[in-house]
Structure 1
Amino acid sequence: MSVETTRRSVLMGALGLAGAMTFFGAAYAETTRLRLAWWGGNERTRRTQEVLKLYQQRVNGVELAGEVSNSEYFTKLATQVVGRSAPDVFQLEPNSFADFVKRDCVLALDGLMPNPIDAAGISRAMLDLCAVDGKVWGIPQALNSFAMMYDKDAFATAGVTPPDAQTSWDDYADRMVELTKALNRRRYWGSCDASGYSYAFQVWLRQRGRDLFTADQALGFGKDDVAEWFAYWDKLRQRGGCVPADVAALSPDSTINLMPLIQGKAATSFAFSNQIVGMQATTPVQLAMTMFPNGGAGAKPGQFYRPASSWSIYAQSPNPEAAARFVNFFVSDPEAAKILGVERGVPMSPALRASILPTLRPVERATVEYIDAIADKVGPYPPPPPKGSQQFGQLMKRAADAVAFNSASISDSAATLMKDAHSIL
């Protein structure tokens, strides 16, 4: 999740939308008002607002109010759910999806398909990515996977071979140390510190035949796994191959403008494939992407295809059918698809994917090409995370920072994470 928009620019954009839609709604005796919530940076917000404007031009009597948040998006949404004031339509992603479904705040969409939600262009396998307990609770917007982004020129200048799909975790560490030394730039390192990134930890676990969570809603790893992960990054930190604790602490997740790569402090960052669009729009350096490091000989596939984001409807929405019509438009209208491009990921519908390809810029095409290129290297989609799992990322980041700042040992931090993780499930 990534947002670079300032509060002022978001407010100005929201006021612009609200003003246009209030005027539009006033022209009709009966106006349906829908609140829509998403996370994202300037680029995502710009594209989303264009689609909202297109929708208001197409559909009479609907007033749309957009709400965009930064890294506090899910905390805010959870608070709104508790207060029974959640938006009519909101964006979710795999790590949060099942958690919110199990809070009984999401509307099952099976009864709204195929009308007004026509999901014919999305395969059943893709719809199942948004299914829990046999029901569909969201419509996937687009497909992505994990991706390592890197500064092409930094590697060329250092004379270090960039990472690729054949790069193991050990190889990656050695190259990051080599690059840091070769460039010898002040406050600049080869790698970000991904020790607190739960999504990177998940890939690493899956390469070893484990996962974050099991199908029976339990933790899928043990203390030794956490300790080994923390030790890998601690060693790389001590060797000078990744950013130090003070830099890592300011990069809590995959928020674009907080990434060390975007801030000019590292040559690589662990992210998601669709993010290259927003990242490249934010930095002058030329970016490329590849897979996360592999687990070595005999390892299982760590990565998997995932719905980059999905649209769900609030169970208490007073206008579920109007909300469903909007969701259908957002994910299936050809003109909307051209506006959205691949900033949210590669469209699920093959027809939409084909229709937008001619309109894509090179950096956008890279996302599509990457998704195609890793087809034989991805594993199965993981089971739905248990209720409460949305908090796991915060717990992991806190434990990882304790190691980085030397305020707790690796063993103690691993034990703390296990204890805290059990307590939220």
Structure 2
Amino acid sequence: MRTLRALAVAAPAAALLLAACGGDDTTGGGNGDGDVVELRYAFWGSDERAQMTQDMIDKFEAENPGIRVTVDYADFGAYFDKLATSVAAGDAPDIMTMGGAYHTEYAGRGALLDLAEVDDVIRTDQISDDILAHGTIDGSLYAIPTGVNGYAMVANPTVFAQAGVELPDDTSWTWDDFAQMCTQIGTALGDAGYGAQDLTNHNTLALWARQHGEALYTEDGEVGVSTGTLAEWWEFSNQLRESGCTPPATLSEELASQSAPEQTLIGTNNGGMSLVWSNVLEALSTASGEELQLLIPPGVAGGEPGSWLGPSMYYTISARTEHPEEAARLVDFMLNEPAAAESFLTDRGLPVNTDVREAIMDDLTPVQQAEAEYLNRLEEAVGDPVPPAPVGSTETASIVTRLNSEVLFDRTTPQEAAEQMIAEVETAISK
């Protein structure tokens, strides 16, 4: 089995807290003296994700009757505050789901177990080094991706048809092409909708930067995008708003505060396109009742590939767990057992274990199969791997959201927003 020590780099996704504990006796678990081992498992998500997780836990406990796991969950917005409180109080869950750069930050605080300590339990031979590298900090593996997904332009073919606009060829379209068809859709729909929801967030800026030969963060953990590139994006975003492609500031601000699929323009069939992570296609399709389509995001004419394959989220183990081997058994089960993948399917991204991925393909819904097909296509169009997100970069998302609001309402210029963003992110990652 591949050693877990010599892997490199870290990358994007999100996180939230939940708890898990339980008990039973007999074989396949326990601490060797007949006592029940109780584990706490923390994650974020909807009631549907919680049901999937409990189904997986039931299977795990059936195979490990000496271990019981209790889960608790909350929505994404509350997770980090709750997790931070638990970790600070010395009461961290045994297994914690991480996202974005949070695994970097918690590892840096000594809160995460170096998984080399349990490399005889967690199997990694069917997970690529490129995937494992996302969870490696300073040469040690602290987090393993739950699955992979990709940034995508989701399109509603029904809205396109209503507007009399054809879907683009996503192997060659540019941002200029996007702007033209987005404006056509917005004009055709009138008061009934828009060509797209406002696109600005830190993931979009990372995509835009890479297409311009830059990066949101360098491999040295510094800001790698220029003021000019950021200002150019916000100028483009203003043009989209003014042309009727995207909503006015008041509606965009309202939509930015509503993360549920059924609250989005795509989910309500009031928008033609939106930039999303591929693993939310199922939820958006359910909300809209339409057969939505994933498109490779538009590019810059003559520019570089900007897309990347990234972890959906991460599994980590608390450095203070009293049961590292049992916690590792649960992580191994979630990563490597088809039974677990049958519970999750693509909810946590496409399985990172290639054998498991193949085993569940026939169980996927048509929408989930479309996600898998999209990732296969995207893999051929991605650029270089994304450098690690540095400690402190978890503040970037809120910085971008706040500054974007200032630009939307014309309270600051694109140039001013770009300068302020770089200054604030530099401050955040230098603390």
Q: TM-score, normalised to structure 1's length? A: 0.89
For structure 2, the residue ranges without an aligned partner over 5 or more in a row are: 1-12
1:387 pairs with 364, 374, 391, which one?
Answer: 391
1:136 pairs with 128, 138, 141, which one?
Answer: 141
Aligned to 1:182: 188
- Mapped to 2, the partners of 1:304 and 1:358 lie a distance apart of 26
> What does 1:179-328 align with in structure 2 at a 5 Å threshold?
179-186=185-192, 188-195=193-200, 197-252=201-256, 255-257=259-261, 258-297=263-302, 299-328=303-332
Aligned to 1:419: 423
- Mapped to 1, the partners of 2:96 and 2:422 lie a distance apart of 31
Change beyond 3 A, Cα 1:337–1:396: same
Q: Is the 8 A contact 2:96 2:316 kept in 1?
A: yes
What amino acid maps onto 2:244 in structure 1?
G
Q: Is the 8 A contact 1:190 1:266 kept in 2?
A: yes
Aligned to 1:369: 373
Shift in Å at residue 290 of structure 1? 0.8
Q: Is the 8 A contact 1:107 1:314 kept in 2?
A: yes
Aligned to 2:410: 406
Shift in Å at residue 240 of structure 1? 0.9
Secondary structure of the structure 2 residue equivalent to 1:107: coil
The alignment of Structure 1 onto Structure 2 pairs a total of residues equal to 408
2:121 pairs with 116, 119, 125, which one?
Answer: 116
For structure 1, the residue ranges without an aligned partner over 5 or more in a row are: 4-9
1:107 pairs with 106, 109, 113, which one?
Answer: 113
Shift in Å at residue 348 of structure 1? 1.5
Query: Which range moves more in the overlay, 276-285 or 197-206?
Result: 276-285
1:55 aligned to 2:68? no
Alignment deviations for residues 288-322 of structure 1 (CA, whole Å, 9 cap, x no partner): 1111111122x111011112122011112222211
Shift in Å at residue 116 of structure 1? 1.1
Aligned to 1:6: none
Q: Is the 8 A contact 1:2 1:256 kept in 2?
A: no
Shift in Å at residue 162 of structure 1? 2.1
- Mapped to 1, the partners of 2:255 and 2:44 lie a distance apart of 17
Change beyond 3 A, Cα 1:148–1:401: same
Q: Is the 8 A contact 2:121 2:328 kept in 1?
A: yes
Q: Is the 8 A contact 1:165 1:294 kept in 2?
A: no
Aligned to 1:7: none
Alignment deviations for residues 341-369 of structure 1 (CA, whole Å, 9 cap, x no partner): 12222111221111111111110100111
- Mapped to 2, the partners of 1:194 and 1:79 lie a distance apart of 32
What amino acid maps onto 1:411 in structure 2?
Q
What amino acid maps onto 1:245 in structure 2?
A
Percent identical among aligned pairs is 27
- Mapped to 2, the partners of 1:211 and 1:63 lie a distance apart of 44
- Mapped to 1, the partners of 2:252 and 2:75 lie a distance apart of 18
Shift in Å at residue 253 of structure 1? 8.2
- Mapped to 2, the partners of 1:161 and 1:101 lie a distance apart of 48
What amino acid maps onto 1:272 in structure 2?
W
- Mapped to 2, the partners of 1:75 and 1:224 lie a distance apart of 34
Change beyond 3 A, Cα 1:129–1:66: same
Shift in Å at residue 69 of structure 1? 2.3
Aligned to 2:335: 331
Q: Is the 8 A contact 1:138 1:310 kept in 2?
A: yes
